[in-house]
Amino acid sequence: VKPTKENLYDMIYQIVFKIPKGRVTSYGAIANCLGIKSGARMVGYAMNVSHTIAGLPAHRVVNRNGVLTGKHHFDDPGEMQKRLENEGIEVENDQIVDFKKRYWDPSEIGYI
C-alpha cells in the first residue's frame, strides 16, 4: 500500500505510537516501513508538527545515528533526554548509548 501525503502523517503517527517503551527507531525506518524509501525528511517534517498530537512519543524517534536531532523542537530540549532516560535508555552527549541494541524496526509489528 502506498500511502498518500494525506494519510502519510497518520501512518507515521500510528507507527510512532507502536514503538515499544525503552526502544527507539529512526525516521528512515518508519519511511521504509511505509514504502517511501526517500521519505525520511517527510517523516521528520511530520514530527515537527507532532506537537498537535497528544502523547506522541517523539522522543523515541531519532536519526539513523541515534542522535537526538529533534530535541530543539521540544518545549524543553532537555525533556527529550529526560524521557528517554526515564525509560531506561542511556543518552550521552545527545546520543543514544548502544543505539543498535535499542533500535526497533517498525516492520517488526508485521501487519503494516
Partner DNA sequence: CCAGTGACGGAAT
Partner DNA sequence: TATTCCGCCACTG
The residue (of 74 and 112) whose beta carbon lies closer to DNA is 74
Distance CA 109, CA 15 (A): 9
Cβ neighbors of 5 (< 8 A, separation 6 or more) are 42
Rule CB under 7 A: say whether 84 interacts with DNA. Answer: no
> Which one of the spans 59-67, 83-91, 93-101, 102-110 is the region binding DNA (CB under 7 A)?
59-67
All cell numbers assigned to 10: 497518520
Q: Write the single-letter amino acid at 94.
A: D
Using alpha carbons, list the distances in angstroms from residue 97 to 23, 38, 73, 94.
12, 26, 21, 10
> Which one of the spans 48-56, 85-93, 95-103, 104-112 is the region binding DNA (CB under 7 A)?
48-56
Q: Which of residues 6-35 bind DNA (CB under 7 A)?
A: 8, 26-29, 31
Rule CB under 7 A: say whether 48 interacts with DNA. Answer: yes
Distance CA 15, CA 85 (A): 21
Site residues (vs DNA, CB under 7 A): 5, 8, 26-29, 31, 36, 38-45, 47-48, 50-51, 58, 61, 63-65, 69-74, 80
